Amino acid sequence: MSRLLLALRLRKVFPDVLRSITAGLVLAFAGSRANVARTILSCAGIVVGIGALITVVTAGDLGERYAKAYSESVAGRAATFQVDLMAELEDLEAFEADLQRAGGTVVSLSTWISGPVVRSGGTPVPDVAFAAVDASLSDIRRLEIVQGRWFTEEDQESLVPVLVVNEELAGLLGDVTDVEIGTRRWLSARVVGVVETSAFESYPQLYLLRSPASEELMSSLSSSEEPLMLSYSVLVPPTDADPDSFLYRLASASWRWGAPTENIDEFVSVWRSDDSEAVDEMLGYLSMGLLGVASITLLTGLLGVLNVGLVTVRERRRELATYRALGASSLTLFVAVVTEAVVVSVVAGAIALTLCLAGAWVVDVLASPYLPSDVSVFVPPEAALVGLASAAFVGLLAGIIPAWRALRASVVAGLRE
């Protein structure tokens, strides 16, 4: 019975509430249009505040993507172990198999070597960094191919060493179709691809695929006075990225590849090479800092709109009293004043967003030569969303207090002004 009464009461009250809200919305839009100067004044503060907020969120996003690109390009994706051999092992093949058994999802030789020289057209290129790798390295590190391709399984069948060079080295070589590589004697080599010169490592680099064709070259390096110390990049699940546990598991089968379990540290070292933990920590601090800046920015914008709102209500006492006299209910007036503030804020937020989009485009054009190719400057959707939502929230907050004051004001006193 009481439910029925409530339903009947709601049926009677709801149209009144709806009418009040609708009228409030109409008055709000009419008010915003009629008081252009006030609207622009309110807008200006919000545009600055929301613009700063969007910029801060955009900068945070850019920083995160840049840091991730740096980390993945230089040190590997999360989580990458660097496994260094400090002595020659009896059975390298068994060791590599155990790297996978111990938890590695992707394993690649990743050994920086010194000694070989590369040349094209007879002129050797000095100071080239050589890395002997497997094709699977591209699954571990971020490598942007700008020309040709990365290594494939078919390259194992090549009769000549297969190379991928970076843009820097490709530029120094000139003709990459006629490349030779060697230590004591020159071997013809085939360049199958060119990777982007990393913004973080701008020197000439060369990746040599470990294959039967490169065996002679590798052997010549191993047989020199200082034996070649091999290193591996091993991708492991981020949830299982404890180097000590990995080494412990690896050591349990060390007899297979000829290293004593008790002295495993003298043969193998394992350390985490990717920077994702450090980056995450840094981004955590960055986020907190940006959140602080954004909060202050937002608060400043809020106070600006609140100030304009309060001044507006004081200046509009007569207008608001006229509305009351003509039959505006408290709800209508409340909705009108709050909606005006929200509409002005959201419009200002949209203007700020437009300016930020334009600004991001300009910065992207200017900064693109200095950024990795897959890191561009743009306003991320979450920044736009945060900006517009904050604008609406600020408008709501800044509208409620003036609206409350408007309701408390005496109609008779307002009409006398």
Partner 1 sequence: MEALFAPEEQEAPTGPLLRVHDLRRSFTVSGTRIDVLKGCSLEVARGEVVAVVGQSGSGKSTLLNIIGLLDSADSGEHVFDGVDVTRLREGQRARLRNERIGFVFQQFHLLERRSALANVSVPLVLAGVPLVRRRAIARELLESVGLGDRLSSQPHQLSGGEQQRVALARALSLNPALILADEPTGALDKASSTMIMDQLLDHARSRNTAVIVVTHDPEVAARADRTVTMSEGRILPAEEE
User: Can you give the binding site for partner 1, defined by CB under 8 A?
Assistant: 15-16, 19-20, 22-23, 26-27, 30, 34-35, 318-319, 322-332, 411-412, 415
365 or 412, CB closer to partner 1? 412
Query: In this complex, which beta carbon is closest to partner 1, that of residue 338 or of residue 394?
Result: 338
Measured from the CB atom, the residue of 35 and 111 that comes closer to partner 1 is 35
Neighbour tally for 371: CB within 10 Å: 16
CA angle 405, 411, 415 (to 5 degrees): 115
The sign of the torsion formed by the CA atoms of 329, 331, 334, 337 equals negative
Shortest Å, Cβ 320 to partner 1: 10
- Where are the alpha helices (H) located in 368-380, listed in sequence order? none
Q: Shortest approach of partner 1 to residue 40 CB, angstroms? A: 14
Dig out the tokens for 163 from the structure. 């190379």
Report which secondary-structure segment, H or E, holds 55.
helix 36-74
State the minimum distance, in angstroms, from the CB of residue 14 to partner 1: 12
Query: Measured from the CB atom, is 19 or 149 closer to partner 1?
Result: 19
Measured from the CB atom, is 188 or 330 closer to partner 1?
330
CB of residue 321 to partner 1, shortest distance in Å: 8
Minimal distance, residue 411 CB to partner 1, in Å: 5
Question: Judged by CB, which is closer to partner 1: 263, or 330?
Answer: 330
Backbone torsions φ then ψ of 272, nearest 5 degrees: -80, 125
The residue (of 9 and 149) whose beta carbon lies closer to partner 1 is 9
Q: What is the DSSP string of 178-246?
A: SEEEESSSEEEEEEEEEEPPPSS--S-EEEEE-SGGGHHHHHHHHTSSSPPPPEEEEE--GGG--HHHH
- CA dihedral (343, 345, 347, 350) positive or negative: negative
Query: 225 exposed, middle or buried (CB, 10 Å; 0-12, 13-18, 19+)?
Result: exposed
Task: Output 22 or 123, the one with its CB closest to partner 1.
Answer: 22
Query: Rounded to the nearest whole angstrom, what is the least distance from the CB of residue 405 to partner 1 in the complex?
Result: 17
E strands in 249-319: 268-272
Sequence-separated (6 or more) residues with CB below 8 Å from residue 93: none
SS3 content of the chain, % helix, strand, coil (to 5): 60, 15, 25
Give me the least distance between CB of 318 and partner 1, in Å please. 7
By beta-carbon proximity to partner 1, the closer residue of 34 and 365 is 34
Q: How far is the CB of 345 from partner 1 (least distance, A)?
A: 21
What gap in Å lies between CA 331 and CA 263, rounded to an integer? 80
Q: What is the DSSP letter of 260?
A: -
* Residue 319 CB, nearest approach to partner 1 (Å): 6
